Amino acid sequence: MTIDRRLPCELISLILSQLNKKKDLYACTLVNHVFYKEATHLLWRHLDIGNVPTFTSITAALKQQHGQLALLGTFVRSIVINERYMTAKDSRCFAKFSDDDLLALIQHVPFLTDLILQDGHYITDRSFEQVPQYIPHLTHLYLRRSQITQRSMEAMVRHWHPHLTHLELECYNKLDADLFSALVPCTALQHLAIFRFLEKMNDPHIDPSVARHLTHICLDACLEMTDDMAIAFLQSHPHLTYLDLRNSKITDKTLDAIPMYLPDVVEVRLNSNPGITPDGLRRLLRTCQHLELVMCLGCGIFQEHFPERDEDAMVIDCDYDDEENIAPFDYDDDDDDDGDDGDDDDDDDDDDDDDDDDDDDDDDDDDDDDDDDDNE
């Protein structure tokens, strides 16, 4: 009787998925044909593109239409276009990740679910209106500093509304109040973060029917948002566990409404809202049963107002000099202009956390070259 001692592909894939370094996965491709197949799948699952050479080699590989290389694009599930997208290894001159670059990449990854563009300064409607057609299964989008307008938003909603769960946008005043009404069909949306452009909107009122199943909301520069507007939104979104409202006109009236309409809220961030008071904040702390963190930088609330506070649960003006370093959700650099890597959870690179010095910058570039070799 012959015993088949080969491991099932499913088990091999499970084993390889525990490897954190791309170098280890690359070594596994040399074991045998089965390991090569499963390791290649994982090597291409996430692409972190930090410079032009990496982008060039990846797009060249994705364009291959023969043999097993023709399948590489179908393995890709997430892409990060790193903020440190540079022209050369030792260059301090940033390259332009353009509309043409985005289309050249995106048309070869039909099963992409996560797209992070840490600097989309040169991304416009010319490319982004077409993006949803190429990646119809997207669930997570993070787009920073882009030039897209309402036309791109409508295209996104048209294709992604059944399954888009995370949306974070920082745009240069190209969108308007219609953004929120456009998002109404996105019934699966749970995480929403909007930055920068709200201060230019003629009508900042948020449609209460937008994404009723939201659990996380972050709105920056809500200069015209009043208590009535904020409370109407809270009342229609009882599933919120994370609330972040910055630079608005809200007062203690909104604070008093939070425990009433958000019974499961865990984290509340109210930076740069001078209308709230220590008394209102104290009532919030007493009445929210599940609250774990409150942040109120730039609100005129200091240590003497809460001498008994737990510093791990309450962040006030004496704790940070720059509130912009406090980012929403899981992205560590949403509002950080230092250019740190946004994909801190990715262990594929040899470096863990970059320091802002020349030595670490060189290390990062070496890692990008390693990733480039791995993907090939």
- Find the mean pLDDT for residues 190-207: 67
Average pLDDT, the chain: 78
Are 99 and 180 within one domain? Answer: yes
| Per-residue pLDDT band at 5 (split at 50, 70, 90) | low
Instruction: Identify the bridge partners of residue 371 per DSSP, sorted by sequence position.
Output: none
Q: 50 with 87: CB under 8 angstroms?
A: no
Are 115 and 160 within one domain? Answer: yes
Q: 62 with 108: CB under 8 angstroms?
A: yes
Q: What is the CATH number of the domain that holds 164?
A: 3.80.10.10
Are 142 and 67 within one domain? Answer: yes
pLDDT at position 115 is 97
Residue 86 has pLDDT above 50, yes or no: yes
Residue 142 has pLDDT above 90, yes or no: yes
Tell whether 227 is covered by a domain: no
pLDDT at position 66 is 64
pLDDT at position 4 is 45
Residue 322 has pLDDT above 70, yes or no: no
pLDDT at position 231 is 93
Tell whether 12 is covered by a domain: yes
Tell whether 231 is covered by a domain: no
Tokens of 368: 């990008």
Greatest mean pLDDT among 26-35, 206-215, 317-326: 206-215
pTM: 0.75
Q: 39 with 13: CB under 8 angstroms?
A: no
Lowest pLDDT segment from 20-29, 54-63, 127-136, 295-304: 20-29
The more confident residue out of 1 and 218 is 218
Length in residues, the chain: 376
- Find the mean pLDDT for residues 173-179: 69
The structure tokens 């009532």 sit at: 283
Are 38 and 51 within one domain? Answer: no
Q: What percent of the chain has pLDDT over 70?
A: 70
DSSP 8-state symbol, 218: E
Domain that holds residue 100: 44-214
Q: How many domains does the chain have?
A: 2
Q: Residue-wise over 209-224: b if at least 16 C-beta within 10 A, else e?
A: ebbeebbbbbbbbbee
Are 65 and 157 within one domain? Answer: yes
| Per-residue pLDDT band at 94 (split at 50, 70, 90) | low
Are 138 and 31 within one domain? Answer: no
pLDDT at position 350 is 44
CB 77: neighbour CB atoms within 10 A?
16
Tell whether 116 is covered by a domain: yes
Greatest mean pLDDT among 52-56, 83-87, 372-376: 52-56
